[in-house]
Amino acid sequence: MEMTRADYYRALMAHDPRFDGLFFICVKTTGIYCRPICPTHVPKLENCTFVATAAEAEKAGYRPCLRCRPELAPAVREANDSPAHLLCQQIEDTLLMDETLEGVAAAYGLSERHLRRLFVESYGVDPKQYLTTRRLLFAKQLLQDTNLSISDVAYSAGFNTPGRLTINMRAAYGFTPERFRRGLARPATNYLTLRADYRPPFDWTGLLALLADRATPLESIDDNMYRRTIDGYVITVINVPERHHLRVQVPIELSRQSHAIVGHVRQLFDLDANPCAIEAALSEDPLLAVLFQKYPGLRVPGAWDGFELLLRVIIGQQISVAGATTLMRRLVERIGVTPEAIRAATPGDIAAIGLPAKRAATIHEVGRRVIAGELSLSEGHPGRFYDQLVAIPGIGPWTAEYLRLRVLHWPDALPAGDLGIQKALTIDGRRPTERQVTQQALRWRPWRSYATMLLWRSLSNQGG
């Protein structure tokens, strides 16, 4: 539904966190742009311009508010596989740290000029402007929340030099990093504390329970916290429900990876979901409407490492969750869970952890294909991603759909052949067929991943 200026203003007046990140407010009298949840005095309607992205606001010459901090707003995720949208998500996730627009365009089979034109049509700004905005906003977050040196901030935010950060920040915000830092001194610590905001409601407990059952040896869930080991260091994620954000503690040694770490957290816990819009769409189905009342704030869990989850799913075929956890631990300890480690091992080495020969061969083959570039777990197009997976012997439609749901984080995945889904849809003892599930699920589009999670949640065995 399209919102009018009056609708935007009512949401602003209410400071409703459910609209956070869905639009921004540019205030003519101050030259500043804000989130709908900004605690400052609400400006008059005639002084407000409403835009969809921070990049649009900065293109128009507005500076980010220092109180509500637009850099912390949840992003907008859609079931959209257009090149412009995929590029936008790639910028949000990676800041194109190791890529160029020309390289991204080539991967999409387009010229850089054509991709730029599509992006401007969709988002109203050039992709370079959008990228610079996202890099500046993350630099601002690091400057405001950490004691990192300006040099480290620049590199962590994707700028090649501190001077490049200074030039862009002065041009966009009217001040330098050094000036911004004045009066913001924080006590020295051996870790960074970063925020990752979300739109309520948010089922933190349900997410942790699902992840705990399927945790890899590099993950742990206890004391209502999530922990992840990276290069021998442990990051910790804690929910702050009264402030609608997660607190991410990152060891100082991992500071250069801070954007990637926050991005992993956002995907793993589905922080960019718009739960009210998803519930409104799916609640047209009476069964799902009842389930939403039982499980408010449901999210679709992502994956910290796509290849690691792929191995976990293959290992878990036709065995219990506990059994798969044991085998995954053996794989980590004896071989490793990187594509390079799997490719270097033989199928016999992999089978020796307790796997059938065919499943070990599948694991070895996925390692080989990732190294060879035949399988890309960062492939943004859901159709190509699916086709790459089902082309591998030992990976069928269910596994491919489940990986689209969690690795690709595609909101419209549907493993229609899943027995759990069919059981949850059983009426008067009549269990639907895969074809009938597919037909019934047409009304759930484009949020079939969330419908899937709801149906799994309604069972004692949560699926996957």
Q: Using 50, 70 and 90 to split pLDDT, how confident is the model at 461?
A: very low
Kind plus residue range of the DSSP H or E element containing 115:
helix 112-123
pLDDT confidence of residue 189: 84
| Residue type for position 39 | P
Alpha helices in 1-51 (DSSP H): 5-14
Residues 266-302 pLDDT 10s: 999 999 999 999 999 999 999 999 999 999 999 999 9
pLDDT confidence of residue 460: 62
pLDDT confidence of residue 464: 45
Residues 109-123 pLDDT 10s: 999 999 999 999 999
Burial of 110 (0-12, 13-18, 19+ CB in 10 A): middle
pLDDT confidence of residue 381: 86
pLDDT confidence of residue 413: 96
Both tokens of 131, joined, read 């990228």
**Domains, the chain, ranges and CATH?**
5-72 (3.40.10.10), 83-181 (1.10.10.60), 191-272 (3.30.310.20), 306-457 (1.10.340.30)
Over 70: is that where the pLDDT of 166 sits?
Answer: yes
The three-class DSSP label of residue 181 is helix
Q: How far is CA 424 from the centre of its chain?
A: 27
- Mean pLDDT for the stretch of residues 158-172: 95
Over 60: is that where the pLDDT of 455 sits?
Answer: yes
Average pLDDT, the chain: 94
Residues 209-228 pLDDT 10s: 999 988 888 999 999 999 99
Would you call the peptide bond into 39 cis, given omega within 30 degrees of 0 as the criterion?
no
Does residue 68 carry a catalytic annotation? no
Pick the range with the lowest mean pLDDT from 177-181, 352-356, 457-461. 457-461
- Mean pLDDT for the stretch of residues 124-129: 94
pLDDT confidence of residue 185: 67
pLDDT confidence of residue 78: 78
Which of 65-79, 186-200, 217-231 is modeled with the greatest confidence? 217-231
Over 90: is that where the pLDDT of 87 sits?
Answer: yes
Pick the range with the lowest mean pLDDT from 181-190, 227-236, 413-422. 181-190
pLDDT over 90 percentage in the chain: 88
| Residue type for position 439 | Q
| Placement of tokens 């030039």 in the chain | 167
Q: Residue 114 and residue 110: Cα distance in Å, rounded?
A: 6
Does residue 65 carry a catalytic annotation? no
- Mean pLDDT for the stretch of residues 200-215: 93
Residue, of 287 and 460, whose pLDDT is higher:
287
Q: By the 8 A CB rule, do 15 and 49 touch?
A: no
pLDDT confidence of residue 421: 96
34, 38, 68, 88: the catalytic one is 34
Over 50: is that where the pLDDT of 128 sits?
Answer: yes
Kind plus residue range of the DSSP H or E element containing 237:
strand 233-240
Neighbours of 4 (CB within 10 A): 9
Q: By the 8 A CB rule, do 310 and 403 touch?
A: yes
Sheet holding 32-34, edge to edge: 48-51, 24-27, 32-34, 63-64
- What values do phi and psi take at 411, rounded to 5? -75, -5
Residues 374-394 pLDDT 10s: 999 988 889 999 999 999 999
Please report, for residues 10, 45, 71, 123, 259, the alpha-carbon distance to residue 7 in angstroms, rounded to integers and kept in the order given: 5, 11, 23, 21, 33
Tell me how far apart the terminal alpha carbons of the chain are, to the nearest angstrom. Answer: 33
Q: Using 50, 70 and 90 to split pLDDT, how confident is the model at 462?
A: very low
Q: Residue 211 and residue 300: Cα distance in Å, rounded?
A: 11
Both tokens of 240, joined, read 């702050």
197, 270, 412, 418: the catalytic one is 418
Q: By the 8 A CB rule, do 394 and 361 touch?
A: yes
Q: By the 8 A CB rule, do 72 and 138 touch?
A: no
Over 70: is that where the pLDDT of 140 sits?
Answer: yes
Query: According to the 3-state scheme, what is the secondary structure of 262-311?
Result: HHHHHHHCCCCCCHHHHHHHHCCCHHHHHHHHHCCCCCCCCCCCHHHHHH
Sheet holding 219-222, edge to edge: 191-197, 245-251, 233-240, 225-230, 219-222
